[in-house]
Amino acid sequence: MKTSIIAVLFAAAALPAAAQTATPRVDARQASQEARIQQGVQSGALTGKEAAKLERGQDKVQSMGNKAKADGKVTPRERARLAKEQNKQSRKIAKEKNDKQRKAPAG
């Protein structure tokens, strides 16, 4: 009985901390931008070099997000910084996908 009460109290204490570090918009946008890069590779709109460069940019944003979450709270300022960096990455993805460079045909 005591064990279950302690477990419930621990879980209740952990919920606010998890809510403060949750970044669903950032995470969803990261996934969306990763999908855009993959779609560009599959369609030939991105060369391997372009895709690698864009992936490094996405990795940078991901590490920024991990760093922001490390102290247990993502502040509004950190969220704004992440959003700004994601906007920058989104523009880079669009630019590279539409720059008329194509992956060389297989064969």
Task: Record the pTM.
Answer: 0.75
Q: Collapsing DSSP states into helix, strand and coil, what is residue 65?
A: helix
pLDDT digits (tens, 9 = 90+) for 58-78: 999 999 999 999 999 999 999
Task: Reply yes or no on whether the pLDDT at 26 is more than 70.
Answer: yes
Burial of 79 per CB tally in 10 Å (0-12, 13-18, 19+)? middle
